[in-house]
Amino acid sequence: MSMAALRRLTGRLGFRITFLLALALLPLALLSAVQTISLASEAQSRAEAAILGDTVRLAAPVLQHLLRAQGAAATLASAIAKVDNDTARCSEILSRFAQANPLYSMVGYIPSDGLMTCSADGRTHDFANDPGFQDAISDPNPTFEVTPKGAVSDSAVLAVISPVTHRDGQRSGIISLAIPQHALEVSQAGIKTATGIPNSLRLFTFDSGGNMLTSTNGIKADQGYLPVDRSLKALAGHRSTAFTGRDALGRKRIFAVVPIVVNKLYALSSWPGDYGRGTGMLSQLPPIVLPALMAIVSLFAAWMAAERLVLRHIRRLRHAIRAFASGSRVVPVKGRGHAPLEIAEVEDSFERMTETILRDEADLEDAVHQKEVLLREVHHRIKNNLQLIASIMNLQMRREKSPEVKAIMKNLQDRVMSLATIHRGLYLTSGVSDVRADELLAGIVNQVLSISTTEERSFKVHTDIADILLTPDQAVPLSLLLTEALTNAMKYAGGSHDGAQPELEVTLAREAGTGAVLRLSNSLPGTGASPTAPLADEPSGFGSHLIRAFAQQLEGTVRTGIEDGRYLLELHFSVTPLSRGEASRSSAGAGVEPDPRPPGGLIPGVAPAKKV
């Protein structure tokens, strides 16, 4: 995601509301998570404690067998102490006991020399080199040992040993009772009866050296249910313990270790990992999942509430505002009845604002239209008045007898008609605050040509005028300058040569920045002949004086000369920004009357008339 898209996402109101609500809910979510984890831990501890109790209950048969065997071995030791030298009598006693107690796989008396000649089944065996016998004969107390492979039975047995002591305190040997492995195993049926759980529970017995004695379904079959990270020897200790871990097959299991005889015999139970957590689907989830789901649901509910109560109304209002800003003036705000009171008040304010703006726009359009009509009417009347003055001058010229006076009046009449032409162009062009140069100047060129062209004297004119927007303060002097220069160009263009028409060229083009250049040239086409006179009067002439005055008003520079066989007039000036023209008209509307004339009057050297 790009940074712009990320900023747009994080800048949305819905995101910010959701984020703030998330911050507000964060302490509750953390507290809920801590409490859930604490409850889960407490439930786990209770389950482990319950498992310890169940393990003790499951190991009770083994303990009972052991206690019975210890009692029986002590009784037999007392009886054998009286007849230990009588092998026949000893064997008879042991044989009767074995017949009454078929649990034991071997019942025998082993004297101190290790050669067993007295046994329940009449077998003999030499234990002199057996390490287990050496330990037992040297221990004055009753004991037992786990033997993975019995010397007589050749199978795993639990040997219960009791010393044979005479009345004089002398020990003559030991009584050994061997309980086979299968007699100590607890079946699946017994486990289910005791715990009520499925047959996935396993119970093991082992000694302090880590030697496994019994298993529920056999040692080989149940190897996969032992803890993978702890050995049986490491689990042997003085206290009962329970822990959760993985078995050899990677399954989560709960293990409990209970000492049956401390430092001798232990019981290990392997329970399913979900024991005590219920059977529902939710009980199988990690403790942190439920608080996380609650937080997500809360945030979603908050986002939906913000969407329903705020965001959709704001989007509707934003759409209406954008439509109004883009120019649409029919902007209905739908669905207001369902919006909250505060947003409904904002929508009402927006509608009142749009109504006020529409009324103001209508008033402004009326005012602008009236101003435009009035301004065009002013230009039209000025044009009519100037034409009337030109007609009066024409009547006066007819009465004059002096050719000099007629020539002077003719020049004045031409300039008056030029002014009339300019005002005609101003009220015919589009716009009030700005004037299109291509519309105004093209019309002036055509008007001057129509006045000055006769059947004996016609011109071929090429125009290329850019669509530059001018303020009226620049349009008027530029038009006057073009009229004066065009009149002079037509006046001095010379007569026809072999039927060819004199050529005039008028161009207005943009320059770098806000600059513009007006070019006007005259020549005779086709012959290469030069015009009979310059483009304008002599520098001291009245026409040149006017051109320089108009250029000064435009703050431009005028250059005249010959270029490529053509006489050229070139005006460089800067186009005034329309904002300055609007500012000047605003100041005039505020009561400040702008002076349309250049500094020092329209013509340099002639002071402006005083205002009365």
Tell me what percent of the chain is helix, strand and coil, each rounded to the nearest 5: 50, 20, 30
> Is the CATH number 3.40.50.1370 carried by domain 64-184?
no
State the pLDDT at residue 385. Answer: 92
Sign for the pseudo-dihedral over CA of 579, 582, 584, 586: negative
pLDDT per residue as tens digits for the range 335-375: 555 777 777 788 888 888 888 988 998 899 898 888 888 88
Q: In whole angstroms, what is the distance from residue 53 CA to residue 186 CA?
A: 16
Q: b/e string for 495-522 if b means 16 or more Cβ within 10 A?
A: eeeeeebbbbbbebeeeeeeebbbbbbb
Q: What is the DSSP string of 403-419?
A: HHHHHHHHHHHHHHHHH
Residue 203 CB-density burial (10 A; 0-12 exposed, 13-18 middle, 19+ buried): buried
The residues spanned by each domain of the chain are 64-184, 290-427, 429-607
Question: Among all chains, which residue has been given the structure tokens 């409850």?
Answer: 39
Question: According to the model, what pLDDT value does residue 519 have?
Answer: 92
Amino acid 606: pLDDT: 40
Look up residue 224 and give its DSSP letter: G
Please give the Cα distance from 557 to 516 (Å, whole number). Answer: 11
pLDDT at 391: 92
User: Which portions of the chain are predicted below pLDDT 70?
Assistant: 1, 9, 11-15, 25, 40, 84, 148, 153-154, 184-199, 274-288, 290-291, 331-337, 429-433, 493-500, 524-540, 579-612
At 321 the three-state DSSP class reads helix
Sequence-ordered list of residues with C-beta below 8 angstroms from that of 153, at least 6 positions apart, any chain: 105, 106, 178, 180
Q: Does domain 429-607 have CATH number 3.30.565.10?
A: yes
Residue entry with tokens 């519309």? 439
Q: What was the pLDDT predicted at 579?
A: 67
Burial class (CB in 10 A: 0-12, 13-18, 19+), 385: middle
- Find the DSSP H helices in 11-86: 13-83
Q: Tokens 């060129």, residue?
A: 445
pLDDT of residue 597: 44
Q: Tell which residue, 430, 427, 391, has the closest CA to residue 412.
A: 391
592 backbone dihedrals φ, ψ, rounded to 5°: -100, 115
CA distance 277 to 280: 9
At 287 the pLDDT is 61
pLDDT digits (tens, 9 = 90+) for 484-496: 888 888 877 655 4
**Does the global pTM surpass 0.75?**
no
pLDDT of residue 5: 76
Q: C-alpha distances in angstroms, 417 versus 109, 386, 388, 472?
A: 157, 7, 10, 19
Q: What is the pLDDT of residue 388?
A: 92
- Using DSSP, state whether 217 is helix, strand or coil: coil
CA distance 406 to 322: 68
pLDDT recorded at residue 124: 85
Residue 531 is predicted with a pLDDT of 46
Q: For position 536, what pLDDT does the model report?
A: 47
Determine how β-strand 143-147 pairs with β-strand 157-165: antiparallel
* Confidence at residue 581, expressed as pLDDT on a 0 to 100 scale: 54
pLDDT at 466: 92
Strands 460-465 vs 503-510: parallel, antiparallel or unpaired? parallel
pLDDT at 591: 45
